[in-house]
Amino acid sequence: MKTPNNNPFQFIQDLADGKTVKPTWSHESLKRQLEDEEIDENDFQFLSNLLKESIGDLNVLREVFVFRNRLAHGLKPGQERFIQMQELGCRNYPLTDLDISGYELPEILLANGEIGGSLLMSNTHVRRSVDMHMAQIGESVEQGGAQIKGCVDQSEAEIEKDVYQVKAVIGENVDQTKAKIGGSVFQTGSKIGGDVNQRDAEIGGNLDQRDAEIGGNLDQADAEIRRDVYQMLIKIKRDLIQTDLKIKGAMDQQGAQIGGRIHPKTKEAVDWFNRLFGKG
């Protein structure tokens, strides 16, 4: 006898356990769950896609189980399996890390998504962009040594701990506008082809941009850095914008090379600028 199951994720678990089950969930039941806030928009889209793709092919559901099970045991999901989950619209990983380090991926789509632990993508190659707009990360983001041909969008993201982009190569912009980062941001030695936008960002630790190369502007207007800023030997091709930047610790820009204009508008920034460049 088949036991009805209207919980999509429990159904996937039961199927993988070899139980004979019959799903009773549908697009309409998913809409009701969304309206009742039992699932969010990301899970609704993912499960709707999964429902459509799994008609006549339960292997798709088994792949979802294997994916979730590997993450639950601290394992990497597998490159092709992760790409498949991305194509299905999977954006939420609320209880685990997501380790995709070293993979070669077309893109990474995590906008409005949730990761309970860390996003681990050191040395990952991405042919297009990484979209983390408004993502919620329970621990850290590790992108050290990553090569990303497009942009990295972390605007309005909430990241509880650190962001590591040490020696990353990013072809276009890095957008951390209004991001809330509980720890430090490490962009040491990174090469960024476009702008770095940290306007209105809140960084709870240090901002380390030593030896970074930025092909466009560095905009830190109205940002708040709760510890120190290290920008020694940084190379900025265009403008450095630090209007109303708030730094609770020290700032060091010895050896910085700035190709465009500098915008230090606050009294503290002007005094610092004059001291650094011998104009005070």
Q: Which of these three, 90, 121, 146, is where a domain ends?
A: 90
Domain match, 113 and 158 both: yes
Q: Which of these three, 90, 105, 138, is where a domain ends?
A: 90
Domain match, 28 and 75 both: yes
- Report pTM: 0.88
Domain match, 194 and 141 both: yes
Residues 208-259: tens digit of each pLDDT: 999 999 999 999 999 999 999 999 999 999 999 999 999 999 999 999 999 9
Q: Which residues of 190-228 are buried (b: 16+ CB within 10 A; e: fewer)?
A: bbbbbbbbbbbbbbbbbbbbbbbbbbbbbbbbbbbbbeb
Domain match, 78 and 95 both: no
Alpha-carbon gap, residue 154 to 176, rounded angstroms: 5
Domain match, 102 and 86 both: no
Domain match, 192 and 125 both: yes
Domain match, 133 and 24 both: no
Nearest one of 180, 143, 147 to 164, comparing CA atoms: 143
Residues 156-214: tens digit of each pLDDT: 999 999 999 999 999 999 999 999 999 999 999 999 999 999 999 999 999 999 999 99
Domain match, 133 and 248 both: yes
Alpha-carbon gap, residue 105 to 130, rounded angstroms: 10
Domain match, 5 and 117 both: no
Q: What domain range is 170 assigned to?
A: 91-280
Number of domains making up the chain: 2
Q: Which of residues 228 and 39 earns the better pLDDT score?
A: 228
Domain match, 103 and 73 both: no
H or E, element range at 80: helix 79-88
Q: Which of these three, 43, 70, 90, is where a domain ends?
A: 90
List residues bridging with 3 in a β-sheet: 21
Alpha-carbon gap, residue 26 to 278, rounded angstroms: 70
Query: Residue 31 — φ and ψ, nearest 5°?
Result: -60, -40
The pLDDT of 112-137, averaged and rounded, is 98
Domain match, 113 and 66 both: no
Instruction: Classify burial at 11, counting beta carbons within 10 Å of its beta carbon; exposed 0-12, middle 13-18, buried 19 or more.
Output: buried
Residue 280 confidence (pLDDT) above 50: no
